[in-house]
Every structure is written in structure tokens, then in C-alpha cells.
Amino acid sequence: MTLADSRRNFLKTAGLLAGATVVAGRAFPAMAAAKSGEAGISLAECQAMSPIEMARSSVMVQNAWKSLQEEIASIRNPSLRASIADIYGDPTPRITQALDEKTRRQIWQELTAKNYTKQALADVLPAVPNDPGTVMPFDAAPGSGYQSHHAYPGGLVTHVATNVRITSAIVETYQNVYGYRVDRDIALAAQLLHDLHKPYVFQWNDENSSRTEQTLAGTGEHHVLSAAELITRKVPPELVIAMISAHQCATTDDDEKILADWLEAAAIVAGVDPVAHGLISTKHRLPEIPRQEGFICHLGDHDFVLSVPAVKTTLPVMRQIAAVDYKMSEADLNGKVFNKLRNRVYSTYSAMRIHEEMTRHGKEGVRRLMSRSVHPV
Ligand SMILES: [Fe+2]
Ligand SMILES: [Fe+2]
């Protein structure tokens, strides 16, 4: 079993290939109301906060956001740097803009004919809230489906900031140990952009959980749609290939075929010929020997091996504590009231930090962090 296979199987087992998200309100209530994530607030204040307020009042999320801005600034190619900054500034998809009904139907028919989707026409490309409005800001989006690894406001930012640091370290390590340097711009840009459509796909909903993701070409739809977005925005094909390798690297011939499926599906959404565009070969493989930036992007997208169990381990304990310390009823625990509490606590500390605290101090460690973020009632 290759590493890629292991990732795919792991995600499948964990039920993560169909993830979940919402739409944060577009108007930002005064940030003054959203006290610092480290300061601690009442449960009532927590219940009044939007996902945007939670993300923007979290010291952890804002530090990660700042580090991402610095990484973007370190990209040498000016047009690439500008494209990334553009997407981070407004991740609203261009792939659905100016898409008339006829073209939308053609895309759906082509994806269905290739067996890349079994969804109904209306479900293939998620609707943008308040169509033709905008999606939530990049820094407020969750980084995964709601039961998965970074399911909290700002989770996308912490996930990508982690990945980008790992990716940068791999590039440096290869230089220091082996004496050669890959294309750092491509490796970093691929990682910075690898989940660019999570704000679109994992929209916050009224329950303060997030939309359930569909599968497209055998992987989470955010992945293929992110690649389609990059094609639409005319980034070089080698960057699209490096980015699409986040979920699967080209270790075997079968792996390459899977990558070619995803690239073809992305090309269908973007309305280009994948062969003429330099994305795949006529043999339905990658157009050239797979480049190392794709492997490095894939290696850098692996914090789920820890962050998924961190959520699975801590969430049931947080629910137990919510029932006792926050006096939540069964209905509260299964809906918006608990979701707001867990969003705030994870957004303040991350599931990984709470997990570490739990491994050292058990339930009391979790209780301590929860009470620091939101005071018990
Ligand atoms: Fe992804
Ligand atoms: Fe990712």
C-alpha cells in the first residue's frame, strides 16, 4: 500500500471524503463585541457570535493568518503572488460566474457521462449564497467537514498555515540533505491554494455546523473545484498538477490515472480541453514525469493523521462537559447551542491543543481549556 493509498483509505474509513460547512453573515457586527479568544467570554456572548467574529477574535487563528500573508509575500513570481493574494482576499468562485443554464447542464452531462458524479444537476456546483453574492472570508472558513480535522471558524487558516510551514521545511530539508532545490514557488503556491474552495464548499449553516460536501470524481468536491478555479484563473498547468497532488501523489501508474481523472473533471468544470491545456496526456496520465513539487505538496497535507483523532477523541468529552458545566439539554447538545460552544473553543485553541491537554491531564485538562474560552454557567 502506498502512502497515497493509505491516506485515501484512512479518509474513507473516517468518513471524510464526504465532509461538511455554512454561510457566515456578510455583515460584521462590531468586532469589539467579540472579545479576544484568550480572554474568556460568557456562554451568552458565545451564542451571539458569528463564525467570522470567532475567527477574528482568536489569537491562534489571527497569528496563522498573518503567517500565511508572509508566506504569500515570499512567492517570487509576481503574477503568481498576485493570484494567490486575490483568492485569499475574496475566495468567491469564478468557475460559476457567468455560467448560463445551458453550459451548467453541459458540464453536468459530461461529468455524469464520465462517471465523475452521480449527483443531480442542481447539486453539482454548490450555490453561492445570495447568488451572485460572495462566499465567506477565507479566514473564517472551516478547514474540513464538520466531524473532521479542522472544523471550526479559522480552521482553514490554521490547517493551511501548518501545511505551508511543513512544505517550506521539506523544500529546505531536501536542499540541505540532498543538495538540490525544487521550484519553491510552485511547491508553496500549491500548498497555499490546495484547499482554496473550502470557504465555498463548507459554508456555515444556520445550525452553526457546515454544509455536507459531495463527492466529485471520487474525492471531496472542494479538491476538484479548487483545481478548476486555478485553471479558470489561468495559473500554469504545473501548479494545477502540484496542487491536485495534495490528496494523492503519483507513486504508481494507478495513482497517475486517479490524478488524471481529477484533472479531467476539473477541466470539464473550467471548460477547457485537459490535453491541449497540458494537464493530462492522451493516455490519461500526467503529461510528463511527475514533478517533485506535487509529492511535496502531498507530504505537506498530512496533519490529518493527528488532527482527525484529536477531534474524535476530544469531541465526546467536550459534550460531557457541556452537559454538566454549561447545563446543556440533549436538544442543546445536538444542535446550534453546543455547536457554537465547540466552534468557539476549537477556534480559540484547536482540537490538537485540547487533545494534547487531554493526553496529559484527562478530562480536567479539557475542562480547563473550555472554561478559559467560555465561562461555565
Ligand atoms: Fe483538500
Ligand atoms: Fe488540506
The pLDDT of residue 127: 83
Q: Is 273 helix (H, G, I), strand (E, B) or coil?
A: coil
Final residue in a domain of this structure, among 303, 333, 358: 303
Asked whether the predicted pLDDT for residue 28 surpasses 60, the reply is no
Q: 330 and 214 share a domain?
A: no
Q: Which residue has the cell 468529552?
A: 317
Distance (Å, whole) CA 245 – CA 201: 19
* pLDDT at residue 18 in the model: 32
Q: Which ligand is nearest to the CA of 247?
A: 1
Structural domain ending residue among the three candidates 303, 321, 348: 303
Set of cell numbers at residue 314: 476530544
pLDDT at 82 over 80: yes
Q: Is 108 exposed, middle or buried (0-12, 13-18, 19+ CB in 10 A)?
A: buried
Mean pLDDT of 328-357: 98
pLDDT for 132: 62
DSSP code of 272?
Answer: S
pLDDT higher than threshold 90 for residue 321: yes
pLDDT value for 30:
36
Cβ contact 170:299 at 8 Å: yes
**pTM for this prediction:** 0.90
Q: What is the rounded distance in angstroms from the CA atom of residue 152 to the CA atom of residue 146?
A: 8
In angstroms, what is the span from residue 160 Cα to ligand 2's centroid? Answer: 7
In three-state secondary structure terms, 374 is strand
Distance from Cα 146 to the centre of ligand 1, integer Å? 14
Q: What is the pLDDT of residues 87-115, one digit of tens each?
A: 999 999 999 887 899 999 999 999 999 99
Q: Which residues are in the CB-under-5-Å shell of ion ligand 1? A: 195, 223
Angstrom distance (rounded) from CA 281 to CA 270: 18
* pLDDT given at position 145: 87
pLDDT at res. 37: 53
> Taking all residues of the chain, what is their mean pLDDT, rounded to a whole number?
90
Which numbered ligand comes closest to the C-alpha of 163? 2
Segment 188-201 mean pLDDT: 97
Is 349 in the same domain as 210? no
pLDDT category of residue 8 using cuts at 50, 70 and 90: very low
Number of domains in the chain: 2
Cα–chain-centroid distance for residue 131?
22
Q: Domain range for residue 208?
A: 3-11+51-303
